[in-house]
Structure 1
Amino acid sequence: MAHGHKSDEKIVYVGDSRVRAKSSHLIPQDFSAYPGKSEVFIPNFLLKEWMVAVVVLVGILVLVMSDPAPLGYPADPTNTQFIPMPDWYFLFLYQLLKYPYTSDKFVVLGTVLVPAIAFGSLLLAPFLDTGKERRFYRRPIASSLMILSLVACSYLTIVSWHHYEEELKEKNIIPEHIKREEELHANKGKEGGTPSGNAQSKKLAVVAADDPAAELYKKATCVACHGAELKGNPGSGIPALLGVGDKLSKDDIMGVIKNGKGGMTPMYDANIKKGLTDADIDKIADWLSKQKKG
C-alpha cells in the first residue's frame, strides 16, 4: 500500500498484503470431474471405515466376555470317545473334507485347492470386478457367486453340526465341556468338593501286581486306554479298572473283551493280532476280576 502526505489522497494498493484468516475446516475436494467418486480415500473414507471397524470389534469383545469359550478336560490322545470339532467358522470346511471327492486320494483338493480358489477369488474380487455400478442387482455375476458361496457355507455348517449331534446320540457321549460344567455344579456347595474319578482311583491299589498276568495286561490293547496302573480316564469316559472285580466277574470281563461295552469296541481280535493267545486273554480277565477294593 502506498500513499502521500495529504490526508485526502486516494489510497493505492500494490498487490494484496492482507493476511488471510486460517480455517480449521477441511474443504472437500471437488470430484465433479471424476464420475463415481465423492470423497478422498485418506483421510475421509478411511476414517469412516475405521470407525465401523471399531464398533464391530467392540461388539465381538462384548460377545466374548459375555459367553466365554467352553473348556473341556486336558488333552488326552488315548481318549477314543472324544470327537474333535473345529470352531464354528471352519465347520463348512470340516464338513467338506468328509465327502469322497475331497478326502482320501483327493485330500489335496479339499485342503488346498478348494480353499485357495474360494479365498483367492475373494481377495481378487476388487481387481476382477472393476465396474462402477454399486447396486447388487446390476452386477449379476459377482452377486450370484457371492450368494452361491453364502448358501454353500451355510448349508455345510448346518449339516456338519447336525452330524455332530447325531454322532453324540449314537455313541451316547456327553461333550467334555458340558460334563465338566455338570461336575462343577455337582461339587459346588459341598465342603471340599467330591473327589474326581482319578482321585478316587488313587486311593486304590493294584491287586496282585506281581502276577504274570499283569505283564500280559501291559502287552494288551487295554493299557492304551485304561493305563498301566488301571486308573483309566473317567473325565474322558474311560473308566478305571481298579475295583472292577467288585462289579464284574471273570466271565463278564471276558464278555466285554469279546463283545465290547458302551463306547468300547470288541478287543479280542485286536489282542490276538498283537500276539496274545486265548490263554493269555483268559489270564488277563481272571487277573482283572481280582481287582477289588477290599
Structure 2
Amino acid sequence: MHRGKGMKFVGDSRVPAEKEPNIPKDYSEYPGKTEAFWPNFLLREWMVGAVFLIGFLVLTVAHPAPLESIADPTETGYIPLPDWYFLFLYQLLKYEFASGPYTVIGAVVLPGIAFGALLLAPWLDGGRERRPYKRPIGSALMLLGVISIIFLTWESVDQHDWEAAAQQGAIEDEVEVDESAAGYEIYQTQDSCIGCHGGDMQGGAAGPNIFQSDYDTDEVIDIIQNGIGEMPAGQFDGSDEELETLAAFIANDGQDPENGEGGGDEDAEGNEEENTEGNEEEAEGEEENE
C-alpha cells in the first residue's frame, strides 16, 4: 500500500465548523461564588482604593512630614538617623567588628549573608510540611532574622540622643546681622570663631547660633574668655576694647548698640530706669493725696 492510500481526512473534531458568538458566561450558575471582573470586581476595587487614597491625603494634611533646617554639608557634628525600617542596619555599623576599617563587613557582608539565607530557606528546607516545628531549618532562619532585626532596632532607638537630634534639626528664624557694625568687622577677623559658628554667626560645624541664647555683655565676655561646654577658652585674638565691642554686638542680637536697635542691655537698662521713675512718681502722688 502506498503512503496515504486508503486513508481519508475527516478533520479535527475539536475545532467547531461554525464560529459561535462570544457570549459571556452566565454567572448565575454559581451564586455568591464568582462575579464578572468588569464592572463588578474592578469597580469595587476602585472604590476601596479611592477611600484609602483620601484617607492618606487627609493624614498628610493633618500630620505633615517633620521638616528640619536646610542641610549644611559643612556641619560635621550633625547626627543622622535613617528611617525606622533601616535602623537595624544603622545600629550594626556602630559595632567595632562592622565599622571603621571593617565597614564593608557591616554594610555588605553581614546583610548579604542574612538576606541570602532567607532567600535560600525554601531550598534548604524543601519539606512539604506546613507546621513550623516540622520545618526546623526554615523556621530557625526566620526566627533568627526577626529577633536580630527587633534587637538591633531597639538598641538603635535606645542609644540615639533624641533631644540633641531635635535641637540640631530645629528650624530657627535667621537673625538679620548688621554687617556694617564694628562688632561684625571684629568677628570676621576671628578665624577660630568663624570655624565653629560660621561666617554669618548663625551656627556652623561645631558651634550653635551665637544669638540663640540671651546673654548680656558681661556674660558674653566671660564665655569668650573662659569658654563654656565644649567651647575652649582663650580663642579670641584681639584687644580688650575689641572684645567688649564684639560682646556688646552679640548681646544686642547682631545690631550695633550705638544705633539703639535690637534687644541689648541699653534697652533693658532704659526700661528699668523708666519703670523706677514711674514708681517714684506714683509714690509721691499718693503721699500728696494723703
User: Which interval holds the TM-score relative to the shorter structure?
Assistant: 0.5 to 0.7
Q: Taking structure 1 as the reference length, what is the TM-score of the superposition?
A: 0.56
Which letter maps to 2:139? S
C-alpha contact 1:244 1:289 (8 A) present in aligned 2: no
Secondary structure at 1:125 match in 2: helix
Quick one: distance in 2 between partners of 1:152 and 1:142?
A: 16
Structure 1 residues 100-109 or 84-93, which shifts more? Answer: 100-109
Within-5 A mapping of 1:128-139: 128-139=124-135
Quick one: distance in 1 between partners of 2:223 and 2:168?
A: 28
C-alpha contact 2:188 2:199 (8 A) present in aligned 1: no
Corresponding residue to 2:89 among 90, 93, 110: 93
In structure 1, the residue matched to 2:247 is: 289
Secondary structure at 2:219 match in 1: coil
C-alpha contact 2:125 2:137 (8 A) present in aligned 1: no
Which letter maps to 1:253? I
In structure 1, the residue matched to 2:189 is: 216
Within-5 A mapping of 1:55-66: 66=59
Among all aligned residue pairs of Structure 1 and Structure 2, give the percentage whose two residues are the same amino acid. Answer: 34
Provide Cα deviations, 1:144-169, integer angstroms capped at 9, x if missing partner.
111111011011111111111xx235
Quick one: distance in 1 between partners of 2:144 and 2:53?
A: 26
Structure 2: unaligned runs, 5 residues or longer: 1-9, 26-47, 258-290
Which letter maps to 2:178? L
Structure 1 residues 280-289 or 66-75, which shifts more? Answer: 280-289
**Shift in CA distance, 243/113, structure 1 to aligned 2, threshold 3 Å:** same
- Equivalent residue pairs, number: 215
Structure 1: unaligned runs, 5 residues or longer: 1-13, 26-54, 181-195, 272-277
Answering whether residue 166 of structure 2 is matched by residue 174 of structure 1, we say yes
Secondary structure at 2:166 match in 1: coil
Within-5 A mapping of 1:91-170: 91-164=87-160, 167-169=161-163
- The alpha carbon displacement at 1:73 in A equals 1.6
Asked which structure has the greater RCO (Cα within 8 Å, sep 6+), the reply is 1
C-alpha contact 1:230 1:241 (8 A) present in aligned 2: no
**Shift in CA distance, 80/266, structure 1 to aligned 2, threshold 3 Å:** same
Provide Cα deviations, 1:259-288, integer angstroms capped at 9, x if missing partner.
43xxxx12348x6xxxxxx75597874452
